[in-house]
Amino acid sequence: MKKSLLIACLCFLGMVAYAQKETKVSIETEYGKIVMLLYNNTPQHRDNMIKLAKSHFYDSTLFHRVIPNFVIQGGDPQSKHAQPGAMLGNGEIGYRIPAEINTEDCHIRGAVGMARDGNPKKESSGCQFYIVTGKPATDAELDNVERTRGAKYTAAQREIYKTQGGTPHLDGGYTVFGQVIEGMDVVDKISAQACDQNNRPTKDIAMIKVRLVKKKKKFLGIF
């Protein structure tokens, strides 16, 4: 009896620990809500996003760079009160995040990655991020990326790239740290907006509110 109770307790604790590992962040826009799942194998990027969401850093920042079939990008603090037509993308928070690039996380459609400048260590921006829209890739394109980055795609990764799409040429160059799990229709609406010659939407598209998604509490009764 005691042994069975101990096993049950251990299983319960394991389930709790597993649930605590899942982190989601929501972005509210005038077009709807986007929900991103943050990966645990990129902890520095995950924790940075958690910190910025908790401090409301992103509230009122714009999606300032929108390229159809590629990405939508935002998080520049200078975009909060930017004049119409002003070039954006150079605003920063004052630090970089060490690269956490791996072969598991790819730039498939809906992937969330951190922007960066041309620094040789491939360190990420402390605040600017992008969401991949992308387009379907061919086997030849994927073969070329494999040769360039020196790593093979799994059969599952290839299938996703060929059917759902993405931006595989970014793999190995930027850290992917999450995935959109709700609201890709919202991302597509943003991606379809008219832009100027600098890829800034002619109509401002703000992140109205960026917050951590609160975990739902589950009641486990014993009868």
Check residue 217 and give its pLDDT. 60
pLDDT at 54: 98
Q: Is residue 149 part of a domain?
A: yes
End-to-end Cα separation, the chain, in angstroms: 16
User: Mean pLDDT, to the nearest integer, of 51-73?
Assistant: 98
Residue 170 has pLDDT above 70, yes or no: yes
Rounded distance, CA 188 to CA 65, Å? 14
Q: What is the model's pLDDT at position 214?
A: 87
Residue 220 in any domain: the answer is no
**Structural domains in the chain (count):** 1
- Per-residue pLDDT, 218: 54
What element of type H or E holds 26?
Answer: strand 23-29
Asked if residue 49 belongs to a domain, the reply is yes
Tell the residue number behind the tokens 């009641």, with chain if given. Answer: 219
Average pLDDT over residues 51-69: 98
Query: What is the pTM assigned to this prediction?
Result: 0.88
Is residue 222 a part of any domain in this protein?
no
Whether residue 8 is contained in a domain is answered as: no
Q: Could you tell me the CATH number of the domain that includes residue 124?
A: 2.40.100.10
Q: Which domain holds residue 180?
A: 22-82+91-212
User: Between 14 and 167, whose confidence is greater?
Assistant: 167
Query: Within a domain: residue 13?
Result: no
Residue 9: inside a domain, yes or no? no
Nearest partner of 168 among 146, 188, 197, judged by Cα: 146
Is 75 within a domain? yes
